[in-house]
Structure 1
Amino acid sequence: MLARRSLALGRTAAQNASFAAPVGARNMATLRELELRLKSVRNIEKITKSMKMIASSKLAKAQRAMQAGKEYGSANSEVFQNAPAEEGTKRKLFLVISSDKGLCGGIHSSVSKATRRYYQEGEVDKDTPLMVIGDKSKAQLSRVLPNNLVLTFNQIGRDVPTFADAASVADLITTSGAKYDEVQIVYNKFVSAISYESTSIVVAGEEVLKEAPGFKAYEMEDDVTGDLAEFALANAIYSALVENHASEISSRRNAMDNASKNAGDMINSLTLKYNRGRQAAITNELVDIITGASAL
């Protein structure tokens, strides 16, 4: 009876030993995982560094276009300063400017948050129409203001925005049928190469220009006032587009720079863990060899 029980225990121990993993298998699997992760992080670092270099090369071009575009905005401001509109409640239309591309920090979220504040704090009516340039802010605002979204634009400003892009947007806004007295453009203002802030400018519509005292002093046909209002809107949109584009490029460069630094820190940490694990595995193998040699 005792012999049978001992034989059964021996068989069970032999079966468990046959299915048991080798002593260094756990360490080797961990080292393999660390090696694969190191490889992927190094590849990501190469991508982020390349994107940073591309954004740095584009930033100078975007800043030159921004300086040229600001002339259009300053001309608009001078026109409306010399012909101020009458005070009173006006119907607004919001135009939010973003882009279709990501990987540029929180630049799209900033204009979306600024727009939401206008609606939530009661500065405008709840049914105020909303138009968005760019798929990123469109996706954000369509979740919170779906009933206000009238018109959206994409594929604008894929490179440096042009006045033709702004003119096409102004034409679609004018012919959209939306009722408004003035257009409030929300965009990111370029502060420096490392900072930006969301701001807005207001452009008077055709009816407001007709009733402005400065325009009433001159006899003008209706077509002239309508063309002037559309041209002023195109000027303001172009000025906001190029400034928002420069802010986006600088934000993307900073985001890729931070991503490259974080990837470098992660590579150092993973390399240290990998070297420690590799050294431990080699030490264990040496101990096994020496122990086996001593036993012989």
Structure 2
Amino acid sequence: MLARSSFGRVGSAAVATPANARNMATLREIELRLKSVRNIEKITKSMKMIASTKLAKAQRAMQAGKQYGLANAELFQHVPAESPAKRKLFIVVSSDKGLCGGIHSSVTKATRRAFADKESEVEQDSPVMVIGDKSKAQLSRALPNNLAMSFNQIGRDIPTFADAAGVADLIISSGVEYDSIVIVYNKFVSAISYESAVVEVDTEKMLKDAPGFKAYEMEDDVTKDLAEFALANAIYAALTEGHACEQSARRNAMDNASKNASDMIGRLQMQYNRGRQATITSELVDIITGASAL
């Protein structure tokens, strides 16, 4: 009986917590959160500076890579398609890195729209190859049966023509059947915007059947090498432009994250100041009340 009464008194004493102690605990939590948000702000500002530096290099590489794409476009002007190809090979260009907004979702959505669009006449079993782990993870859920091949560790730094040539060689030697090749990539509009774009690359068979090429007597190896080189050119142009878009999107994302962290720091600092002021006022009231009682 004595033990029960003692336990009851101890329990009631533990439940009754002073108001000052609760305020101090809340202030301590706010202080820890302020420290955490300040550390996040330092990280996002550093990442923004790094992305800004890389963006300048990526834009210079993009200007050089665009010349390869323009050469391809001029070549394919003389190869009009006699009939639209239905079994298309989609090459989706993304990257392995994140923290760059919805840039990977942009090419994924464009690929899904191409399969969902009835007017495009794309066969539902058309193969898809992905450059980059981010879009691969998204398309493996949306189009799991179409995913034929994926590439990673491409363009970790500025993409080179050797990277594009290696990808083109693996695609041609993969044994996947297709009528034409469609490259889905992010097009650089400005330093703050981008959009998904599609470029179609002619295959060896399309080059052989083109009236403009039939006028010249060429060996089979020449047409084959030309088709492979044109594919490498198109992939290189898409890789360099997509890399520039990625660095631009990452810089903008880190800039927005830094601004959000600054706003959160301001709100938490105001909340901390108000709580601290309330605690000091409560302590002063206790002191004055005690002094008046004496």
- In structure 1, C-alpha distance between the alignment counterparts of 2:228 and 2:288, rounded to whole Å: 88
Q: Residue 181 of structure 1 contacts residue 206 of structure 1 at CA under 8 Å; is this kept in 2?
A: no
- TM-score, normalised with respect to structure 2: 0.95
Identity of counterpart residues, as a percentage? 74
* Aligned-residue offset at 1:295: 1.2
The residue aligned with 2:100 is 104
- In structure 1, C-alpha distance between the alignment counterparts of 2:225 and 2:14, rounded to whole Å: 88
The residue aligned with 1:204 is 202
The residue aligned with 2:55 is 59
The residue aligned with 1:3 is none
Q: Residue 130 of structure 2 contacts residue 136 of structure 2 at CA under 8 Å; is this kept in 1?
A: yes
* Aligned-residue offset at 1:292: 1.2
Q: Which runs of 5+ in 2 are unaligned?
A: none
Q: Residue 86 of structure 1 contacts residue 213 of structure 1 at CA under 8 Å; is this kept in 2?
A: no
Report the number of matched residues.
289
The residue aligned with 2:26 is 30
Are 2:66 and 1:70 equivalent residues in the alignment? Answer: yes
Q: Residue 133 of structure 1 contacts residue 153 of structure 1 at CA under 8 Å; is this kept in 2?
A: yes
* Aligned-residue offset at 1:14: 7.4
Q: Which runs of 5+ in 1 are unaligned?
A: 1-7
- In structure 2, C-alpha distance between the alignment counterparts of 1:70 and 1:100, rounded to whole Å: 22
Closer, same or farther: CA 14–172 of 1 in aligned 2, 3 Å? closer
* Aligned-residue offset at 1:19: 4.5
- In structure 1, C-alpha distance between the alignment counterparts of 2:10 and 2:195, rounded to whole Å: 71
Which protein has the larger Cα radius of gyration, Structure 1 or Structure 2?
1
- In structure 1, C-alpha distance between the alignment counterparts of 2:166 and 2:257, rounded to whole Å: 36
Q: What are the Cα deviations for residues 179-221 of structure 1, in whole angstroms up to 9, with x where unaligned?
A: 1121100000000000000010000111111111111111111
Closer, same or farther: CA 87–276 of 1 in aligned 2, 3 Å? same
* Aligned-residue offset at 1:15: 5.7
Pairing of 1:137-176 with structure 2 (within 5 A): 137-176=135-174
The residue aligned with 1:276 is 274
Q: CA RMSD in A?
A: 1.7
Q: Any idea what SS the aligned residue of 1:128 has?
A: coil
- In structure 1, C-alpha distance between the alignment counterparts of 2:5 and 2:39, rounded to whole Å: 53
* Aligned-residue offset at 1:25: 1.3
* Aligned-residue offset at 1:289: 1.2
- In structure 1, C-alpha distance between the alignment counterparts of 2:160 and 2:127, rounded to whole Å: 25
Instruction: Point out 4+ residue stretches in structure 1 off by more than 3 angstroms.
Output: 8-15
- In structure 1, C-alpha distance between the alignment counterparts of 2:163 and 2:182, rounded to whole Å: 18
- TM-score, normalised with respect to structure 1: 0.94
Pairing of 1:1-296 with structure 2 (within 5 A): 16-17=12-13, 19-122=15-118, 123=120, 124-296=122-294
The residue aligned with 1:5 is none
Q: Any idea what SS the aligned residue of 1:79 has?
A: helix
- In structure 2, C-alpha distance between the alignment counterparts of 1:10 and 1:245, rounded to whole Å: 71
